Amino acid sequence: MTEQTMEQSAKSEAAAAPGFLRRYALWVAGVVIVLVLPYIFTSGSAITMLTQMGVMVIFALSYNMLLGQGGMLSFGHAVYFGLGGFYTLHAMNAVINGGWSFPLELMPLIGGLGGLGWGILFGWVSTKRAGTTFAIISLGVGELVAASAQMFTDFFGGESGITTNRVDAAHQMSLLSLNYGPNIQIYYLVAVWAVACTILMYLLTGTPLGRMANAVRDNPERAQFVGYNPRVVRFAQFSLSGFFAGVAGALFAIMFEILTAENVGATQSGMVLLMTYIGGVGVFFGPIIGAILITWLQSSLSSFSEAWLLYFGLMFVLMVMYAPSGLSGIIMSHYLPFKNGLVRRLLPSYALAVIPTLVMFVGAVSIIEMGYHLSTSYLPSRPMGLFWISVVATDAWSWIVAVAILLVGLAACRWSYRRVGRAWDEVNETLVERGLA
Amino acid sequence: MLESFVFTVFNGVLYGMLLFMLASGLTLIFGMMGVLNFAHASFYMLGAYFAYQISVYAGFWPALFLAPLAVALVGAATEKWGLRQVHQHGHVAELLFTFGLVYVIEEVVHLIWGRNPVNYHVPPSLDFTLFTLYTTDFPAYRGFMLLVAVVMFVGIFLLLTRTRVGQIVQASLSHPDMVGALGHNVPRIFTLVFAFGTALAGLAGVIAGNYFITEPGMAWAMGPIVFVVVVFGGLGSLTGALIGSLIIGLIQTFAVQMNYSIADLLSGIGLSIPQDAFLGTIWHLDLSRVGPMLPFLLLVLMLIFRPRGLMGTRET
N-to-C CA span, chain B? 43
Say what the pLDDT of residue A8 is.
Answer: 47
Q: Do B315 and A133 touch (CB under 8 A)?
A: yes
What are the chain B neighbours of A63 within 8 Å (beta carbons)? none
Q: Is residue A12 included in any domain, yes or no?
A: no
Q: Do A375 and B111 touch (CB under 8 A)?
A: yes
Nearest CA in chain B to A311: B104
**pLDDT(B26) > 70:** yes
Q: Do B307 and A129 touch (CB under 8 A)?
A: yes
Q: Do B36 and A148 touch (CB under 8 A)?
A: no
Q: Is residue B306 included in any domain, yes or no?
A: no
Q: Taking a contact as any Cβ pair under 8 Å apart, which residues of chain A between 109 and 128 contact chain B?
A: 125, 128
Alpha-carbon gap: B7 to the closest alpha carbon of chain A (Å): 26
**pLDDT(B53) > 80:** yes
Contacts of A25 (CB under 8 A, 6+ apart): none
Nearest in space to A250 (alpha carbons), one of A25, A26, A89 = A89
* pLDDT tens for chain A, residues 1 to 437: 344 444 444 444 444 556 677 778 888 888 888 888 888 888 888 899 999 999 999 999 999 999 989 989 999 999 999 999 999 999 999 988 887 888 888 999 999 999 999 999 999 988 888 888 888 889 889 988 988 888 888 888 878 888 888 888 888 888 887 888 888 889 999 999 999 999 999 999 999 999 999 999 988 889 889 889 999 999 999 999 999 999 999 999 999 999 988 888 888 999 999 999 999 988 899 999 999 999 998 888 877 777 788 888 898 999 898 888 889 988 888 888 887 777 777 888 888 888 888 888 888 888 888 888 777 777 777 777 777 777 776 777 878 888 888 888 888 888 888 888 888 888 888 888 887 76
Helix residue ranges per DSSP H, A127-229: 131-151, 153-156, 166-172, 183-206, 208-218, 220-226
Together in a domain, A306 and A342: no
Nearest in space to A267 (alpha carbons), one of A293, A298, A289, A296 = A298
What are the chain A neighbours of B216 within 8 Å (beta carbons)? none
User: In this predicted model, which residue has the larger pLDDT, B91 or A127?
Assistant: A127
CATH number (domain holding residue A210): 1.10.3470
Q: How many CB atoms lie under 10 A from the CB of residue B108?
A: 20
Where among A313, A331, A349 does a domain terminate?
Answer: A331
C-alpha–C-alpha distance, residues A70 and A88, integer Å: 28
CA pseudo-torsion sign B194, B81, B106, A377:
negative
Together in a domain, A271 and A312: yes
Together in a domain, A326 and A340: no
What would the mean pLDDT of B77-101 be, rounded to a whole number?
87
Q: Is residue A11 included in any domain, yes or no?
A: no
Say what the pLDDT of residue A289 is.
Answer: 93
Together in a domain, A396 and A281: no
Domain that holds residue B200: 2-258
Contacts of A38 (CB under 8 A, 6+ apart): A47, A50, A184, A187, A188
Q: Residue A259: phi, psi to the nearest 5? A: -135, 145
Q: How many CB atoms lie under 10 A from the CB of residue A385?
A: 11
Together in a domain, A315 and A356: no
What are the chain A neighbours of B215 within 8 Å (beta carbons)? none
Say what the pLDDT of residue A299 is.
Answer: 84
Decide: residue B10, CB within 10 A, 0-12 exposed, 13-18 middle, 19+ buried. middle
Q: Is residue B290 included in any domain, yes or no?
A: no
Q: Where does residue A61 fall: left (phi above 0), alpha (psi -120 to 50 degrees), or beta otherwise? A: alpha
C-alpha–C-alpha distance, residues B162 and B156, integer Å: 10
DSSP tag of A100: -
Q: Which of A129, A143, A372 sits opposite B296 (nearest CB)?
A: A143
Q: Which of A136, A154, A309 sits opposite B231 (nearest CB)?
A: A136
Q: Which helix (H) or strand (E) holds B307?
A: none
Specify the long-range contacts of residues A423-431, CB closer than 8 Å, at least 24 apart.
A423/A345, A423/A346, A423/A348, A423/A349, A424/A346, A426/A345, A427/A337, A427/A342, A427/A345, A427/A346, A430/A340, A430/A342, A430/A345, A431/A336, A431/A337, A431/A340, A431/A342
Q: Do A151 and B114 touch (CB under 8 A)?
A: no
What are the chain A neighbours of B29 within 8 Å (beta carbons)? none
Q: Which residues of A24-42 are buried (b: 16+ CB within 10 A; e: fewer)?
A: eeeeeeeeeebeebbeeee
Q: Is residue A18 included in any domain, yes or no?
A: no
Say what the pLDDT of residue A431 is.
Answer: 82
Say what the pLDDT of residue B259 is.
Answer: 66
Portion of chain B with pLDDT greater than 70, in percent:
87
Alpha-carbon gap: A366 to the closest alpha carbon of chain B (Å): 13
C-alpha–C-alpha distance, residues A164 and B107, integer Å: 34
Domain count along chain A: 2
What would the mean pLDDT of B252-260 be, rounded to a whole number?
76
Q: Is residue B278 included in any domain, yes or no?
A: no
C-alpha–C-alpha distance, residues A52 and A190, integer Å: 9
Q: Which residues of B29-45 are buried (b: 16+ CB within 10 A; e: fewer)?
A: bbbbbbbbbbbbbbbbb
Say what the pLDDT of residue B316 is.
Answer: 45
- Judge whether A307 is closer than 8 Å to chain B, CB to CB: yes
Q: Is residue B285 included in any domain, yes or no?
A: no
Say what the pLDDT of residue A37 is.
Answer: 87
Q: Is residue B284 included in any domain, yes or no?
A: no
CATH number (domain holding residue B76): 1.10.3470
Together in a domain, A309 and A419: no
Where among A331, A354, A384 does a domain terminate?
Answer: A331
Together in a domain, A255 and A353: no
Q: Do A131 and B92 touch (CB under 8 A)?
A: yes
Helices A208-218 & A230-256, crossing angle to 10 degrees? 110
Together in a domain, A157 and A205: yes
Say what the pLDDT of residue A11 is.
Answer: 46
Together in a domain, A222 and A344: no
Together in a domain, A247 and A381: no
Domain count along chain B: 1
Say what the pLDDT of residue B265 is.
Answer: 67
What are the chain B neighbours of A273 within 8 Å (beta carbons)? 96, 99
The average confidence (pLDDT) of chain B is: 83
Q: Do B103 and A313 touch (CB under 8 A)?
A: yes
Helix residue ranges per DSSP H, B163-257: 164-174, 176-181, 186-209, 218-233, 238-257
C-alpha–C-alpha distance, residues A288 and B6, integer Å: 56
**pLDDT(B43) > 70:** yes
Q: Is residue B70 included in any domain, yes or no?
A: yes
Domain that holds residue A390: 335-433
pTM: predicted TM-score of the whole model, two decimal places? 0.87
Q: Is residue B232 included in any domain, yes or no?
A: yes
CATH number (domain holding residue A379): 1.10.287
What are the chain B neighbours of A366 within 8 Å (beta carbons)? none
Together in a domain, A143 and A242: yes
Mutate to test the interface with A, among B99, B228, B306 (most CBs of A within 10 A): B99
Q: Taking a contact as any Cβ pair under 8 Å apart, which residues of chain A between 152 and 181 contact chain B?
A: 152, 154
Q: Do B110 and A133 touch (CB under 8 A)?
A: no
Nearest CA in chain A to B297: A144
Where among A272, A305, A331 does a domain terminate?
Answer: A331
C-alpha–C-alpha distance, residues B171 and B178, integer Å: 8
Q: Is residue B268 included in any domain, yes or no?
A: no
CA B287-B290-B293 angle, 5° bins: 145
Is the separation of the CB atoms in B54 and B62 below 8 Å?
A: yes
Together in a domain, A276 and A345: no
